[in-house]
Amino acid sequence: MALPHTDTFDSGDGTNLETHNADYNVFFGSMEINDNSAMGNAGSGSACLESGDTYANNQYAQAIVDYSGTNDLGILISRFTTSFNGYGYGSEGTGGATTSERYDAGVPTTIIADATDWADTDDVRIEANGTTIEIFLNSSSDGSTTDATFSSGDPGMLFGDDDQGMAFDSINFGNLPFPVSQSNAPRAWGHYHRTLA
Amino acid sequence: MNRIYIVPVVLKASNRGIGPGAGQPSRSAAYISDLTYKYGALDYGSEDVMLVLVRDISTADHDTLAARSDVIAIPEDLDANMTSGQVNGAKNFYDTLNIPGGWINTNRTVRQVVKITGGMFQFNQRWSGISNGTSPFKVGLDLSTVYSTMSDLNKGRIQVVFDSLNIDISSLTGSSTLGEALREFGIQMASRPLYLGGIEI
């Protein structure tokens, strides 16, 4: 498939994510589609990568949030691997914690704390661009930090449990243009900035 | 006001762990993570210390934080030169944390010190990323370890850290120490943008 990888999850309720599209590698737990949104379906959490495409090291993961009002956990991931290494941007919605984490074998390190809580229909995005990790909420930057730990991986999704209160209504995964100039920076899916690394 | 600190890493209860990290606490900025400020953190790889920029911290909270013996508060004016007192304070603090500090002097601005420190922290981050979460100091090295005495594995790690981030290693020789490698890496990385807490330093 050509990038960007986009998906509006138009399959019947209860469809496993891999059945919906075999490009998804659900390597921990399980995920399913309900109400045309992707969500977790495993009590101990779930994780998937989009493995049907080859991603550059400078990449993004973006989604429209489907939030039902209960404090369940959804995380967009970027530059992530099946060894549970990579970067995430996650929220439990209103009143829950919203952070960006680096994962080392699944163990989190908070690299951006107290980000803005996600709400239903929010447009959320994480970019791994050189050594800059930046998160965006509705096309505005909500924080950035420098981290050189990991250089490669794929975008994907994590869910904290099977309560399904935080889901993704649609996703858009792709590569960041490099180098970026003001004239070629896409606007519709958020902002970019340039980091040499 | 936005302020930069070097603080210990603390383990905070978290639901963010996944897979082998499920249920494990999140490595977070000590003291700061107990407050409600937005912050960005750059850790020293798997060593338990972080460079942190805190957004809009109150004077009272800053004063409390700066008074702690295991915290160093970076001077607010990043473009001022380091004073002799600040140089000595930073060197003594860095010595306790396996961070090279001999390069800090009054000819450097605070911003240069922050950026070089951030660069050295990135050395340890990339080392961690290529070595399953270790650090040089967890595999038997210290700042005075000479390159020629290191194992081939650790020599290779230093080479990969430099090469993978396009940092020129040519000034280092067999008699260079790990501390000199860290310093050289940090100085070269300081020419690149450093983002913390959404702000370019």
Q: Which of B15, B28, B193 sits opposite A160 (nearest CB)?
A: B15
Q: How far, in Å, CA of A188 to CA of A164, rounded?
A: 28
Give the count of Cβ contacts less than 8 A between chain A and B: 151
Residue A182: per-residue pLDDT: 38
Handedness of CA A148, A152, A154, A158 (dihedral sign): negative
Q: How far, in Å, CA of B97 to CA of A193, rounded?
A: 33
Task: Record the tokens describing residue A89, joined without a space.
Answer: 């941007």
In order of A13, A57, A156, A185, the CA distances from A6 in angstroms are 19, 19, 12, 19
Whether the CB-CB separation of A105 and B21 falls below 8 Å is answered with yes
Residue A1: per-residue pLDDT: 64
ipTM score assigned to the predicted complex: 0.95
How does DSSP classify residue B146? B
For A163-177, the pLDDT digits (tens) are 788 999 999 999 998
Asked if B19 lies within 8 A of A45 by C-beta distance, the reply is yes
How many alpha carbons lie under 13 Å from residue A102 in its C-beta half-sphere? Answer: 29
Q: Which of B16, B43, B123 sits opposite A90 (nearest CB)?
A: B16
Residue A140: per-residue pLDDT: 95
Q: Phi, psi at residue B185, to the nearest 5°?
A: -60, -45
pLDDT tens for chain B, 201 residues: list them: 999 999 999 999 988 999 999 999 999 999 999 999 999 999 999 999 999 999 999 999 999 999 999 999 999 999 999 999 999 999 999 989 999 999 999 999 999 999 999 999 999 999 999 999 999 999 999 999 999 999 999 999 999 999 999 999 999 999 999 999 999 999 999 999 999 999 999
A91 in contact with B, Cβ within 8 Å: no
Omega prior to B193 cis, within 30 of 0: no
Asked if B38 lies within 8 A of A146 by C-beta distance, the reply is no
Residue A189: per-residue pLDDT: 36
Residue A178: per-residue pLDDT: 63
Q: What is the CA radius of gyration of chain B?
A: 17
Residue A135: per-residue pLDDT: 97
Q: How far, in Å, CA of B193 to CA of A45, rounded?
A: 36
Only one residue has tokens 């909270």, namely: B61
Whether the CB-CB separation of B123 and B188 falls below 8 Å is answered with no
The size of chain A, in residues, is 197
Q: How far, in Å, CA of B19 to CA of B35, rounded?
A: 28
Q: What is the CA radius of gyration of chain A?
A: 15
Which residues of chain B from 172 to 201 reach within 8 Å of chain A, CB to CB? Answer: 192-198
Q: Phi, psi at residue B33, to the nearest 5°?
A: -70, -10
A45 in contact with B, Cβ within 8 Å: yes
Q: What is the dihedral of CA B88, B89, B92, B96, to 10 degrees?
A: -160
pLDDT tens for chain A, 197 residues: list them: 689 999 999 999 999 999 999 999 999 999 999 999 999 988 889 999 999 999 999 999 999 999 987 878 999 999 999 999 999 999 988 878 899 999 999 999 999 999 999 999 999 999 999 999 999 999 999 999 999 999 999 999 999 887 788 999 999 999 998 654 433 344 333 333 433 33
Whether the CB-CB separation of A132 and A144 falls below 8 Å is answered with yes
Smallest Cα–Cα separation from A108: which of A158, A165, A57, A38? A158
Whether the CB-CB separation of B9 and B28 falls below 8 Å is answered with yes
Smallest Cα–Cα separation from A44: which of B31, B19, B39, B32? B19
